[in-house]
Amino acid sequence: MQPYQPSLQSMQAFTDQRTASSDDEIWLLEHEPVFTQGQAGKAEHVLQQTQVPIVQTDRGGQVTYHGPGQLIAYLLLDLKRLGLGVRQLVTVMEEALVSTLWHWGIVASAKADAPGVYVNDAKIASLGLRVRRGCSFHGLALNIDMDLSPFLAINPCGYPGLDMVQLADLCANVDKHEVAQQLLSQLTQRLGYNEVTTSTQIWQTPQG
């Protein structure tokens, strides 16, 4: 569980400081409650003010919500080295999410005109990227078992009336750690990595 702002700063610093020999990294985490507004985000998509802070960020896309019970995967990748364009990376993320959900028997799909992954027209995962110096950061958010009500205060990803759904509403006994490992496996396979090292790192020193 991480606050958003330090995570954003860590992604930016990692991307700015990496070299041609730096390993790619995928960060898996949850965020404390926050609305994030993309670079081209329009204020009218925030329908009402709440206790949840709104943070302007540098990813693409419109406003969305992050909170406990939602799996975040930040993809810090050297796209030039991987030979991937942004559209190809979006496809990789969408296919990895669809395959992860299929592991739990959930039939999901992507939409050509609305990035993300959907179950019966309800959105279960959102995507947002930034590319700097040929390297990506930001990534995806998968709703697992969370409070979806904050989405009612916005037009999610800029789409009025868009329904949101989560994995826990579609199947029982969902373990978020198992979902995270399945998603990581699907992503690394599609990105063609032949060696994966995992570690646990805390960016923010706990208070108290």
Does the pLDDT of residue 202 top 80, yes or no? no
Q: What are the tens digits of pLDDT across the range 88-136?
A: 999 999 999 999 999 999 999 999 888 899 999 999 999 999 999 999 9
Range of the domain at 113: 4-190
Catalytic residues, by residue number, are 157
The domain that holds 19 is classified in CATH as: 3.30.930.10
Tell me the pLDDT tens digit for each residue of 39-78.
Answer: 989 999 999 999 999 999 999 889 999 999 999 999 999 9
Strand partners, 39: none
Residue 201 lies in a domain: no
| Residue 65 DSSP one-character state | E
Instruction: Give the pLDDT band of residue 207 (cuts 50, 70, 90).
Output: very low
Q: What is the pLDDT of residue 203?
A: 53
H/E segment holding residue 153: none
Is residue 94 in a domain? yes
| Exposure letters 55-86 (e unless 16+ CB within 10 A, then b) | eebebbbbbbbbbebbbbbbbbbbbeebebee
- Domain annotation covers residue 200: no
**Quick one: which of 127, 166, 138, 152 has its CA closest to 48?**
152
In a domain, 203, yes or no: no
- Structural domains in the chain (count): 1
pTM for this model (two decimals): 0.94
Q: Of the candidates 122, 141, 5, which has an alpha carbon nearest to the alpha carbon of residue 69?
A: 141
Cβ neighbours around 1 below 10 Å, total: 11
Q: Tens digit of pLDDT for each residue in 148-183?
A: 999 999 999 999 999 999 999 999 889 999 999 999
